[in-house]
Amino acid sequence: MIRFEDVAAARQRISPFIRTTPMIAMDENNSFPAAGNVWMKLELLQMTGSFKVRGATNKLLTTPAAEMESGIVTASGGNHGLAVAHVARTRGVPATIFVPQNVSPSKVTKLKSYGADVRITGTAWHESNVAALAFAREKGAAYFHPFADPAVMAGQGTLAMEILEQNPDLDAMLIGIGGGGLISGMAIALKHLKPDIRIIGVEPEGCPTFHASFAAGKAVTLPDVTTRVATMACAIADADVFETSRHAIEQVVLLSDEQMLEAARWLWDNHAIGADLSGAAAVAALQSGAFKPNPGENVCALVCGAGPDGIAA
């Protein structure tokens, strides 16, 4: 779907509108159970609280203004919706965000504070998306797909370029998977810039879409979704997105919702980092032992989404 040149162009295009987020070394005094050297990329400090604003901004800047005259619509587990609501507000057009019933209440509150029309529809993202697409057809609104869109994927891929500039010696990258747009966009850039880097995906046990797709050798649709992590609950693997990254991803590890919650608590208690469960997923993979670095390996865990999950627990 995209090439490295698309990611590089996206970075130049969106750079005036996003933050460069910090990367910090894991504090050894916290007895973190990892054999390698671990860094955390704090993308949760990005505008709107996640990496999603990168893709949404690139999509906005590559969409003709005439197509957005009737507003912008999307379906989201929360973070993409926040990014779309943010960019729509900067353009001065209405944003309608369809979210599933298990969406975090804090994200709904934040969406409304951005001026978005929030519509809670369906039990998981794919059901919300049916409603969003119907709205786009009826109202003529521009539809911003959260992951299966080349402009969105290229925008997310800019994160990989930033990470390798901050730490060019990385050997492995841990990335949470929802719909797959982030890991696919990042994989394009990571493998172009550092072909030998290991890319590890992280999914919830209750929505193992990419894990199941690897087992089947093709993109699959899950019969049901049981995770409560709305931002990682995508039952349908897009075929193009999966094909973009399948040969770059070394493995996909699975975690329980409880393991992600434990990691979110650990991030808050030990680093004062307020991550949502999806944002804590990469750290949870290390903390739980689902992924074990090689001795001395330089590993980056992407902390990609903000939220009060670990704070309120």
For the chain, domain boundaries: 4-50+149-312, 53-143
pLDDT in tens, 4-57: 999 999 999 999 999 999 999 986 555 566 667 999 999 999 999 999 999 999
pLDDT in tens, 156-172: 999 999 999 999 999 99
CA distance 312 to 26: 23
Q: What is the mean pLDDT of the chain?
A: 95
As a whole number, mean pLDDT of residues 135-150 equals 97
CA 225 to chain centroid, in Å, comes to 18
Within the chain, where are the H helices? 4-14, 52-61, 79-91, 105-113, 125-139, 150-166, 181-193, 209-216, 239-245, 257-271, 281-288, 309-312
Task: Report the side by side order of strands in the sheet with 37-42.
Answer: 23-25, 37-42, 298-303, 172-176, 198-204, 249-255
Q: Mention every residue, 6+ apart, whose C-beta is less than 8 A from residue 59.
A: 87, 144, 149, 151, 152, 155
Tokens read off for 9? 């162009």
Fold of 4-50+149-312: Rossmann fold (3.40.50)
Whether the pLDDT of residue 313 is over 60: the answer is no
CATH architecture of the domain covering 53-143: 3-Layer(aba) Sandwich (3.40)
As a whole number, mean pLDDT of residues 78-98 equals 97
pLDDT at 36: 75
Q: Can 4-50+149-312 and 53-143 be said to share one CATH topology?
A: yes
DSSP string, 109-173: HHHHHTT-EEEE-SSSHHHHHHHHHHHHHHH-PEE--SSS-HHHHHHHHHHHHHHHHH-TT--EE
pLDDT in tens, 191-215: 999 999 999 999 999 999 999 999 9
Q: Sorting pLDDT into bands at 50, 70 and 90, what band is 132?
A: very high
CA distances from 18 to 13, 125, 164 (A): 10, 26, 17
pLDDT in tens, 237-269: 999 999 999 999 999 999 999 999 999 999 999
pLDDT at 29: 53
Q: Is 25 helix (H, G, I), strand (E, B) or coil?
A: strand
Whether the pLDDT of residue 299 is over 90: the answer is yes
Whether the pLDDT of residue 173 is over 80: the answer is yes
Tell the residue number behind the tokens 């998981």, with chain if given.
124
- Higher-pLDDT residue of 3, 124: 3
CA distance 132 to 74: 6
**Pick from 221, 217, 216, 256: which is nearest to 235 by CA?**
221
As a whole number, mean pLDDT of residues 141-167 equals 98
Q: Sorting pLDDT into bands at 50, 70 and 90, what band is 225?
A: very high
Tokens read off for 24? 């910090």
pLDDT at 30: 58
